A and B are shown apart, each in its own frame.
Chain A
Amino acid sequence: MPVTAKAKRRHYRILAWLRWVIALSALFLSIRVFTSSLLQWQGLRADYMRVQFSGALVRGGPLAAAVLGWLAIAVLFGRWYCGFICPLGTAQEAVRKVSALAARGKLKKFLTPKFISPWRQRYIILILAALGLKAFEPMAIFGHGVRGFFAFAAEGLAAAAPLVLRGAAVFTAVLLFAAARGRRFCDWCPVGIVFGLCSRAAPFGIRLNRDACVTCGNCEKACPMNCVDAKHGRLDRDRCVICLICAKSCVVGALDYGLVSTVDVGRRTFLRKTGNLAAYAAGLAYLSGHPLRRLGRSFLINRLSTGSEPAFIDRVLPPGARNIGRFAGHCISCLACAAACPVGIIQASERYLPYLDYTYGYCQYNCVECGNVCPAGAIHSLPREEKQRTRIALSEFTRPNCVVITRAQSCGACAEVCPTRALRMAPLGDDSPLTVPKFDAEYCIGCGGCLNVCPAEPKAFVMRGVSPQPATPGMRPTLPEESAETPPLPSADGGFPF
């Protein structure tokens, strides 16, 4: 361990730099994860999303190990998750770094934050999040924000959907706060608060040697969490994310990371450090939020059909969502499914529940990427064969709208893309060379292909979401009349018919 102040400073400069490299890599990876739809990213995307806290918390099962692992690290060593992995935290920190470097004069003074003591009332966030409020989930803000940003950049203000703009706006607000006051959202983040509660009494943490401290305030200005109070020699260890920037900035080497001495902990400090019972109760509520979310959705996200008989709902849910009540309870709104969807048809909704929009594409028959990537298990990871027999919506064919009828011309675009042959082209009439779609609803899985490709105006198809998502018999078998319609092959035996 370095002893002189200078050696210590150099030591922590290297460590802080290393941590910054790791955190920035995680941030860049997250941005890529949320913007690329290329198939070679799918495996990495799924693995990356699985180690994130909120998704693993909801999903449970084997991923409970990830949750317990992160919590154990917090209990013993502090909020390493927040400092190293969380992309929203690193994004805020990066913005603050830039603003601190760019600002001059009075602005610089304004942008140099002091110690901030956050509101105790913020613990209510944990209760709300446990009840299913998704707006404060860090991955929801990051995912909606990044996707919103890129969609906005690609399409411009006029074309961007209002919900895309909402995502971008919330993210921008978080980053604007960050420009002025560092990682301010982290104080309101349910994941951050839970880690804070866990790490309040952690044996390892940042130590401040008051005898060596000259109260210069360097650390206070540098801390991205604003959790160092240099004047009073105080350090909010429940908010510290171990960025090591304070130790790096200290000219006398009074700050370092190590085993915290517990000798001077009086009764009062102990109470402050361990917090009050209400905060812990809120934390527990969030951690056990899974059943609470189910209860909460009926208050917060009402009007959901949760019966066991398939009923029509106003949105089409991703294949594997099973039923909307369950989906609403599990989804953390990170939009990883939207990023993973190769055709980009999964969209954000006003209730923070992703849904399928068939305007620019349709659900690919062989594709199960959204279920594979979903970190919360809100979209089941269905085997391909099961997905191909799962009805997510039901199509309805309006024959009078079809171009074969209205304009007496060949089409067949719908039957062409129908993967289960629920649609087929049957002869229009005895003396017409045209064929017209014939729809057998029993085999429709609601992929939206027919609706998407239909050239008619208005469309000859309507697609209505179904919850719960029932099983279908699969591919429609060939009918006897289809064999009759198929001309015999003159050339199956080996010669040429010409």
Chain B
Amino acid sequence: MERREFLKKTLSVGVGAGALLLPRGLRAGVSRAMAEDSPPDLVALRGSSPAAMFDRGIAALGGIGRFVKSGQTVVVKPNVSWDVAENAAANTSPELVARVIKHCLDAGAKRVLVLDHSIEYWERSWNGSGIAAAVKAVGGVHAPAESQGYYQKIDVAGSTLKSTQIHESLLECDVLVSVPVLKHHGGAGVSIAIKNLMGCIWNRNEYHSKGLQACIADFLHARKPGLNVVDACRVITRHGPRGGSQEDVVTMNAQIISPDIVAADAASAKLLGREPSDIGHIRLAAEAGFGQIDLTKLKIERLAV
């Protein structure tokens, strides 16, 4: 190795290591400064169907191949909590769920499991929402989640949540993709990507008794999604999370895609007219360093499809 080359390499490694030591937000700034043509941190889309927006948005992020590698097992986590029709907007759009699965499979994923521990009876919720049919049609696998046997107790390094029973598929999968639907939530304020992960555990009651906001944020210590796709086509603005009346549903035709779960939640909360730092679990997740709550520090690509 040439002396010059050695110095150059050492220097670049040193700069890289130094960048890693910087706070997350600054790091993003540094990396942005270093490569202006790097993919955005967050893509916000408006104006089309969920599938078309996802196609466009994931392409802007550099393609699903950035997050899902060939041969990997993926868990897609939509919201399938309620036995309500698709237009009630309480569950993720089946069209979007199917599209995300298809992209993962096209990227060479070995297996795409679709997981949610429904609140209402699972079979009715999966069939009633149309998600069971959509998953089956596109080649995803519905991961059974209705009995405690599918969950394993793990330790969580959270401030409030010290341990919980999480679905076994999360222990085995390579990538977790959170595909929530944006909606108002009477207890948690809003229900977006972080809150969506509450459907990965067995005992939701535990969150409510220990402290809902803190536990929702603490789950990220156990497992953090590699990608978050927020469905904001139809949005429940009141009486969430179940809704049930069309007068509470607003058609927004929007979608937020980001690998940064806090940023995705922050941007989505703003769509709903809420300040991200007012929502306990988003603020706590940001404070614990799971992502950037300040949207001004992110490279955001806004697209009208």
Residue ranges of A at the interface with B (Cβ–Cβ < 8 Å)? 38-39, 342-343, 364-367, 403, 407, 409-413, 415-419, 421, 424-425, 433, 435, 453, 455-457, 475, 478, 482, 486-492, 494-498
Q: How far is the CB of B240 from chain A (nearest CB, A)?
A: 8
Residues on B with beta carbons closer than 8 Å to the beta carbon of A365: 83, 120
Q: With A433-B278, A489-B273 in contact, do A475 and B245 touch (Cβ < 8 Å)?
A: yes
Q: How far is the CB of B81 from chain A (nearest CB, A)?
A: 9
Q: How far is the CA of A409 from the CA of B44 in the complex (A)?
A: 32
A-B contact pairs, 16 of them (CB 8 A): A403-B208, A410-B189, A410-B213, A410-B280, A412-B186, A412-B187, A415-B187, A433-B278, A453-B204, A453-B205, A455-B206, A482-B238, A486-B184, A489-B273, A498-B44, A498-B267
Which A residue's beta carbon lies closest to that of B123? Answer: A39
Which of B46, B127, B242: most chain A CB closer than 10 A?
A: B242
Q: How far is the CB of B202 from chain A (nearest CB, A)?
A: 13
Q: With A475-B245, A478-B248, A498-B295 in contact, do A416 and B121 touch (Cβ < 8 Å)?
A: no
**B254-299 interface (Cβ within 8 A of A):** 254, 266-267, 270-274, 278, 280, 295
Residues on A with beta carbons closer than 8 Å to the beta carbon of B244: 419, 421, 475
Check A425–B83 contact: CB distance below 8 A: no
Whether a CB of chain A sits under 8 angstroms from the CB of B96 is no
Whether a CB of chain A sits under 8 angstroms from the CB of B8 is no
Check A486–B238 contact: CB distance below 8 A: yes
Whether a CB of chain A sits under 8 angstroms from the CB of B172 is no
**B104-154 interface (Cβ within 8 A of A):** 119-121, 123-124, 127-128
Q: With A409-B211, A417-B242, A498-B295 in contact, do A364 and B248 touch (Cβ < 8 Å)?
A: no
* 10 extra interface residue pairs, beta carbon distance < 8 Å, beyond A455-B209, A486-B184: A39-B127, A367-B124, A410-B187, A411-B212, A412-B186, A416-B119, A478-B247, A487-B274, A494-B46, A495-B46
Residues on A with beta carbons closer than 8 Å to the beta carbon of B60: none
Q: How far is the CA of A421 from the CA of B242 in the complex (A)?
A: 10
Check B237–A486 contact: CB distance below 8 A: yes
Across the interface, B270 reaches (CB within 8 A) one of A342, A475, A490, A494, namely: A490
Whether a CB of chain A sits under 8 angstroms from the CB of B24 is no
Which of B184, B271, B302: most chain A CB closer than 10 A?
A: B271
Residues on A with beta carbons closer than 8 Å to the beta carbon of B304: 494
Across the interface, A342 reaches (CB within 8 A) one of B123, B204, B239, namely: B123
Residues on B with beta carbons closer than 8 Å to the beta carbon of A492: 250, 252
Q: How far is the CA of A421 from the CA of B244 in the complex (A)?
A: 9
Across the interface, A478 reaches (CB within 8 A) one of B238, B242, B273, namely: B238
Whether a CB of chain A sits under 8 angstroms from the CB of B300 is yes
Residues on B with beta carbons closer than 8 Å to the beta carbon of A421: 239, 244
Which of B121, B270, B278: most chain A CB closer than 10 A?
A: B121
Check B211–A497 contact: CB distance below 8 A: no
Check A491–B120 contact: CB distance below 8 A: no
Q: With A403-B208, A453-B208 in contact, do A415 and B238 touch (Cβ < 8 Å)?
A: no
Residues on A with beta carbons closer than 8 Å to the beta carbon of B302: 496
Q: How far is the CA of A106 from the CA of B209 in the complex (A)?
A: 63
Number of interface residues of B (CB under 8 A): 51
Whether a CB of chain A sits under 8 angstroms from the CB of B188 is yes
Residues on B with beta carbons closer than 8 Å to the beta carbon of A413: 187, 204-205, 208
Check B254–A38 contact: CB distance below 8 A: no
Which B residue's beta carbon lies closest to that of A426? Answer: B186
Whether a CB of chain A sits under 8 angstroms from the CB of B47 is yes
Which A residue's beta carbon lies closest to that of B245? Answer: A475
Q: How far is the CB of A497 from chain B (nearest CB, A)?
A: 5
Check A366–B124 contact: CB distance below 8 A: yes
Q: How far is the CA of A496 from the CA of B45 in the complex (A)?
A: 9
Residues on B with beta carbons closer than 8 Å to the beta carbon of A489: 237, 250, 252, 271-273
**B219-234 interface (Cβ within 8 A of A):** none
Whether a CB of chain A sits under 8 angstroms from the CB of B241 is yes
Residues on A with beta carbons closer than 8 Å to the beta carbon of B123: 38-39, 342
Whether a CB of chain A sits under 8 angstroms from the CB of B185 is yes
Check B187–A411 contact: CB distance below 8 A: yes
Across the interface, B44 reaches (CB within 8 A) one of A364, A410, A490, A496, namely: A496
Q: Which 10 A-B pairs have the closest CB atoms?
A: A412-B187, A425-B186, A455-B209, A455-B208, A487-B273, A412-B186, A342-B121, A415-B186, A410-B212, A497-B270
Check A424–B273 contact: CB distance below 8 A: no
Residues on A with beta carbons closer than 8 Å to the beta carbon of B189: 410
Which A residue's beta carbon lies closest to that of B303? Answer: A496
Q: How far is the CA of A413 from the CA of B187 in the complex (A)?
A: 7
Check A366–B247 contact: CB distance below 8 A: no
Check A416–B186 contact: CB distance below 8 A: yes
Residues on B with beta carbons closer than 8 Å to the beta carbon of A455: 205-206, 208-209
Q: How far is the CA of A409 from the CA of B284 in the complex (A)?
A: 14
Q: With A415-B187, A417-B242 in contact, do A364 and B120 touch (Cβ < 8 Å)?
A: yes
Residues on B with beta carbons closer than 8 Å to the beta carbon of A409: 211-213
Q: How far is the CA of A31 from the CA of B274 in the complex (A)?
A: 53
Check A343–B187 contact: CB distance below 8 A: no
Check A343–B270 contact: CB distance below 8 A: no
Q: How far is the CB of B279 from chain A (nearest CB, A)?
A: 9
Which A residue's beta carbon lies closest to that of B189? Answer: A410
Which B residue's beta carbon lies closest to that of A453? Answer: B205
Q: How far is the CA of A415 from the CA of B212 in the complex (A)?
A: 14
Q: With A417-B119, A433-B278 in contact, do A498 and B270 touch (Cβ < 8 Å)?
A: yes
Across the interface, A410 reaches (CB within 8 A) one of B84, B188, B245, B252, namely: B188
Which of A365, A416, A418: most chain B CB closer than 10 A?
A: A416
**B159-205 interface (Cβ within 8 A of A):** 184-189, 204-205
Residues on A with beta carbons closer than 8 Å to the beta carbon of B252: 489, 491-492
Q: How far is the CA of A446 from the CA of B302 in the complex (A)?
A: 47
Across the interface, A366 reaches (CB within 8 A) one of B47, B83, B184, B238, namely: B83
Which B residue's beta carbon lies closest to that of A488? Answer: B273
**B59-87 interface (Cβ within 8 A of A):** 83-84
Q: How far is the CA of A487 from the CA of B127 in the complex (A)?
A: 33
Q: How far is the CB of A304 from chain B (nearest CB, A)?
A: 31
Which B residue's beta carbon lies closest to that of A489? Answer: B273
Check B208–A411 contact: CB distance below 8 A: yes
Check B187–A425 contact: CB distance below 8 A: yes
Which of B239, B250, B274: most chain A CB closer than 10 A?
A: B239
Q: How far is the CA of A144 from the CA of B270 in the complex (A)?
A: 55
Q: How far is the CB of A441 from chain B (nearest CB, A)?
A: 18
Check A496–B46 contact: CB distance below 8 A: yes
Q: How far is the CA of A433 from the CA of B280 in the complex (A)?
A: 9
Check A364–B83 contact: CB distance below 8 A: yes
Residues on B with beta carbons closer than 8 Å to the beta carbon of A425: 186-187
Q: How far is the CA of A364 from the CA of B239 in the complex (A)?
A: 18
Q: How far is the CB of A121 from chain B (nearest CB, A)?
A: 48
Q: How far is the CA of A418 from the CA of B211 in the complex (A)?
A: 21
Q: How far is the CA of A498 from the CA of B39 in the complex (A)?
A: 18
Which A residue's beta carbon lies closest to that of B44? Answer: A496
Q: With A413-B208, A496-B44, A498-B295 in contact, do A490 and B242 touch (Cβ < 8 Å)?
A: no
Q: How far is the CA of A412 from the CA of B209 in the complex (A)?
A: 11
Residues on A with beta carbons closer than 8 Å to the beta carbon of B206: 455
Q: How far is the CB of A415 from chain B (nearest CB, A)?
A: 4
Residues on A with beta carbons closer than 8 Å to the beta carbon of B300: 498
Q: How far is the CB of A247 from chain B (nearest CB, A)?
A: 47
Residues on B with beta carbons closer than 8 Å to the beta carbon of A486: 184, 237-238
